[in-house]
Structure 1
Amino acid sequence: MDATFWALIGLVLFLGLMIYIKVPGMVGRSLDKRADNIRGELDEAKRLREEAQALLAEYQKKRKEAEAEAAALLAAAEREAALLTEEARQKTEEFVARRNALSEQKIKQAEADAITAVKSAAIDIAVEAAGKVIAAKTDKTTQTALFKDAVAKVQSRLN
């Protein structure tokens, strides 16, 4: 008998022993158990993926709402800034108009004061000149009468 024969007998005995102690059943159960574990892990992964997708959708919805709210706030701020700018422009225009009116009023008053001062000076000079002319051409009694008459006329015109 050669070595091949004994190797075949050893193999048959080994396979018989394996079947006797139910190794194929244990391997099958082990593989089934492993397949069940893998199936459970896949189910868990699928559930987690669905939860992650739900969370992603929720966060995207919140992000869109936040972006819409931010856009609304920005638009409101821009409207308010435009209103404030317009209000400031109007107040500035009103201030400038009031200052111009006040300046024009002061200028008119200064013109009126200057005209009054010139008239007063002209009257004083005219009265003085008339007095000198009259004094040179008339006698003392006529001078007094004319002076009193002129002063009365000037006073009536000034008042």
Structure 2
Amino acid sequence: MKYLLTAAFALAASPALAAGDVFFSLANTDFVVLLAFLLFLGVLVYFKVPGMLTKMLDERADSIRKEIDEAKALREEAQSLLASYERKQKDVQAQADRIVENARAEANSAAEQAKTDIQTSVARRLAAAEEQIASAQDAAVRDVRNQAVTVAVAAAREVIAKQMSAADANRLIDEGISEAAAKLH
């Protein structure tokens, strides 16, 4: 009914009616175009094209709405996955930081231990060197004493040999034997 009223108003407002010529004639092109247009609209209405169009548009709107809902669900899922991966990345980063910190601490501890070991080794070597030096000094002092004793004995022998006569030597030998015998018994 709407369509008929629309067509009637379109006819009433046509420029051909305003000019006063006969409008309802097949010779009038405006009238023929109007009839073709009305026939076209009638065919569309008869075959229920507007209903089909609205049905198709509604179906398309529903499918778009479903796609939008799916896209929202996928987006939410993607955001939750992203948040999960970000949490995992933070956990992994924190773990990596802990591992690096532990490695640094162990390296520092190993360096301190190595330093302590080196100091201990150096102290031991210094002590050993000092002992060797002291031993060498003692040996040198002993050698010097032995040489001094040997030289003194040799010098004393020469002095005694020059000052002593054969009779004095025999008397000293007899005294030494008697002292040794007295001490042994």
**121, 124, 131: which one pairs with 2:150?**
124
Tell which has more relative contact order, 1 or 2 (C-alpha 8 A, sep 6+).
Answer: 1
Instruction: Summarize the alignment of residues 1-159 of structure 1 with structure 2, pairs less than 5 Å apart.
Output: 1-143=27-169
The residue type equivalent to 1:52 in the other structure is A
Work out the CA distance in 2 between the residues paired with 1:34 and 1:15: 24
Between structure 1 and structure 2, the one with the greater Rg is: 2
Contact kept? 1:131, 1:147, Cα under 8 Å: no
Work out the CA distance in 2 between the residues paired with 1:24 and 1:43: 28
Structure 1 residues 9 and 144 mapped into 2: Cα distance closer, same or farther (>3 Å)? farther
Structure 1 stretches lacking a partner, 5+ long: 150-159
Could you give the per-residue CA deviations for residues 54-107 of structure 1, whole angstroms, max 9, x where no partner exists? 000000000000011111111111111111111111111111111111111111
The structural deviation recorded for 1:141 is 3.1
Structure 2 stretches lacking a partner, 5+ long: 1-26, 176-185
Work out the CA distance in 1 between the residues paired with 2:171 and 2:140: 33
The structural deviation recorded for 1:50 is 0.2
The structural deviation recorded for 1:147 is 8.3
Structure richer in helix, relative to its length? 1
The structural deviation recorded for 1:148 is 9.6
TM-score normalized by the length of structure 1: 0.88
Structure 1 residues 27 and 139 mapped into 2: Cα distance closer, same or farther (>3 Å)? same
The alignment covers a number of residue pairs equal to 150
Larger mean CA deviation between 124-133 and 140-149 belongs to: 140-149
Please name the residue that 1:155 is paired with. Answer: none
Moved over 3 A (4+): 143-149
The structural deviation recorded for 1:145 is 5.6
Larger mean CA deviation between 132-141 and 36-45 belongs to: 132-141
What RMSD in Å do the two structures reach over aligned CA positions? 1.9
